[in-house]
Amino acid sequence: MFSRSSVIMASISEWYAGKNVLITGATGFMGKVLVEKLLRSCPDVNALYILVRPKAGQSMSERVQDMMKCKLFDRVREDNPDFHQKIIPISSELTQPGLAISPEDVQTLTSCINIVFHCAATIRFDEPLKHALQLNVIATLQLLSLAQQMQHLQAFIHISTAYANCNRRHIDEVIYPLPVEPKKLIDSLDVALAECVVQQESGKLNIGIIRPSIVGASWQEPFPGWIDNFNGPSGVFIAAGKGILRTMRASNDAVADLIPVDVVINLTLAAGWYTAVHRPKTALVYNCTTGGINPFHWGEIEHHVMSTFKRNPLEQAFRRPNANITSNYLIYQYWILVSHKFPALIYDLFLRLSGQKPQMMRIFNRLHKAIGLLEYFSSQDWEWNSDNMNMLMSQLSAEDRKTFNFDVRQLNWPEYIENYCIGTKKYVLNEDMSDIPAARQHLRKLRNIRYTFNTVLLVFIWRVFIARSQMARNIWYFVVSLCFKFLSYFRASSTLT
């Protein structure tokens, strides 16, 4: 048995040694990264119990096996080919009473779990309210009830979101009170915040709350640019790289508060250690954001995404990457019509004439829905206090700061965005980097098609409109002669110098 003083001196990985960890949402994006990081950086952890439900025709064991085959676990697999033996799946359904955990499993969990990481939640902004309440709030209540029965529990870490209080412009690391009791909100199926439920039901538990902003691809671990889904900015980046997305309504100067997934997980594990060892009197909230520490703007992201996909094109692009950001509603609607809907109609007409099923307009409608959901977050700024995150960093040893790095001041944004884009190509679209020369050739072909189309269009306009009007011809000749004069002037100037 460790004394309290010896435990405080232990490093993060040493503290997790021998511990039994319960993780919800382990098959999701952040959950998988959390599982991988624990197995790799805390190799002496005893067991990871993960709540899993059957999904899409797959059994619980099949889902776990698929998860462990993921490339994300390659580094762990090299170090320990039998890592899967530490992962113990527990059949569960978070939207069911008692989380649908069997009495035998409840007994197992309550007798051995040392720390809980609650990562399961819906992050869809258009989720039906009843389902969102069931998963984000009621399931959290039931998990807290289970946690209070755990005989050896030392910490309960709840993953929230930095946008839990997005009606405020300055957000401190506190749990803001609701105007109505959470239980009354649940009963009325109105708005609710799981954070307040965690706070009010915490009771005898040691609580920590992590608030990440927009979670993106990994920064460093287990390798740069790992991403496995189309959610959030990933789908927008891919659409831009494919030449489908040509415009997005956002403010170029607004801070794009992306946070790499490995930063969130490193902070989460460090917070779990600190919460268990130091037992803060109140639940500590950690705003896991970049905007106030190392800001990067949407206009800068647009530039680096476009330049990356021109150097490393996606295969079979619809058009050459050339997206732009505007905050003007009328300009945005104009580009939607000209660059999205009109080309989609033309392409779908071509598909119909060739006997194929039209699909481009459907793709654009889905894209517009996705970027519409992001619009609120890409056109405004928030100020997040990060005192608790800085405090936690100061508590880490030099070795832990390196192993569990969440210092976003070190983040090089252009490099990160490039790795992010390449990650979508490699891990989401499963494209081979060796095929880049062929993809570049395809972009050159698209460029030649565009030049040919523009030339034909210009000739058509000349023949139909300009050639038939003397006034139009005079204006045309004037503009052309003016251009020649400018060219002659600059040529003469360069000769003289």
- Residue pair 41/396 in contact (Cβ under 8 Å)? The answer is no
Q: What is the pLDDT of residue 56?
A: 72
CA angle 19, 25, 29 (to 5 degrees): 110
Q: Are strands 155-159 and 115-118 parallel, antiparallel or unpaired?
A: parallel
At residue 435, what is the residue type? Answer: D
CATH dotted code for 4-224+255-295+382-410: 3.40.50.720
Half-sphere exposure of 298 (CA within 13 A, CB side): 26
Q: How far is CA 466 from CA 252, 456, 471, in A?
A: 38, 14, 8
In our burial notation (b when 16+ CB lie closer than 10 A, e otherwise), range 296-320 reads bbbebbbebbbebbeebbbeebbbb
The Cα–Cα gap between 85 and 82 comes to: 6
The string of pLDDT tens digits covering residues 5-60 is 444 457 999 999 999 999 999 988 999 999 999 999 999 999 999 999 877 777 88
- Residue pLDDT, tens place only, 362-416: 888 888 888 887 888 888 888 889 999 999 999 999 999 999 999 999 999 999 9
Task: Report the alpha-carbon distance of residue 261 to residue 249 in Å, rounded.
Answer: 25
Distance CA 111, CA 447 (A): 65
Check residue 129 and report its DSSP letter.
H
Distance CA 497, CA 494 (A): 5
In the chain, domain spans: 4-224+255-295+382-410, 437-496
CB 279 within 8 A of CB 156: no
Per-residue pLDDT tens, the chain, 497 aa: give them: 344 444 445 799 999 999 999 999 998 899 999 999 999 999 999 999 999 987 777 788 888 888 888 999 999 999 888 898 999 999 998 888 889 999 999 999 999 999 999 998 755 555 555 566 677 778 888 899 899 999 999 999 999 888 777 777 788 888 777 655 555 455 443 336 577 778 776 667 899 999 999 999 999 999 999 999 888 889 999 999 999 998 888 888 899 999 999 999 999 999 999 999 999 888 899 999 999 899 999 999 999 999 999 999 999 888 889 888 888 888 888 889 988 988 888 888 888 888 888 888 888 888 888 888 788 888 888 888 999 999 999 999 999 999 999 999 999 999 999 999 999 999 999 999 999 999 999 888 888 877 787 777 777 776 666 666 677 667 767 777 777 776 676 655 555 55
**C-alpha separations of 372 from 82, 182, 247, 367 in Å:** 44, 29, 12, 8
Handedness of CA 138, 144, 150, 153 (dihedral sign): positive
Question: What's the rounded Cα separation, in Å, for the pair 303 and 253?
Answer: 13
Instruction: Give dist(CA 286, CA 297) in Å, integer.
Output: 23
Exposure of 385 by Cβ count < 10 A (0-12 exposed, 13-18 middle, 19+ buried)? middle
